[in-house]
């Protein structure tokens, strides 16, 4: 395996773990009926539902990007 592929895989794994930790914190806050206040890059508080909404929007955008990449690859290979 090429070193560039390994570095990309490790990066995606670490990013996935960060997102999983954020989602678990949000779910615990929702289950306990307590507010989740994270901080954005400017130090301003983020609420529970706005954070969940941004995660859902990010997941949809990521899903569309993956679907487009698969369609492009299949078209390039002559599959469609």
Q: What is the pTM of this model?
A: 0.64
pLDDT of residue 46: 79
pLDDT category of residue 7 using cuts at 50, 70 and 90: very high
35 vs 79, higher pLDDT: 35
DSSP assigned state of 1: -
Report the DSSP beta bridge partners of residue 62: none
Distance CA 36, CA 45 (A): 9
1 vs 69, higher pLDDT: 69
Placement of tokens 């997102």 in the chain: 19
pLDDT of residue 79: 58
Are the C-beta atoms of 36 and 25 separated by less than 8 Å? yes
DSSP assigned state of 33: T
Residue 73 scores a pLDDT above 90: no
Please state the separation of Cα 76 from the chain's center in Å: 27
């Amino acid at each position: 395996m090429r070193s560039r592929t390994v570095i990309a895989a490790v990066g995606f794994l670490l990013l996935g773990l960060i997102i999983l930790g954020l989602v678990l914190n949000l779910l615990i806050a929702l289950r306990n009926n307590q507010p989740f206040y994270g901080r954005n890059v400017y130090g301003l508080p983020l609420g529970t539902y706005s954070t969940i909404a941004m995660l859902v929007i990010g997941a949809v955008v990521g899903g569309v990007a993956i679907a487009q990449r698969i369609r492009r690859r299949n078209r390039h290979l002559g599959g469609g």
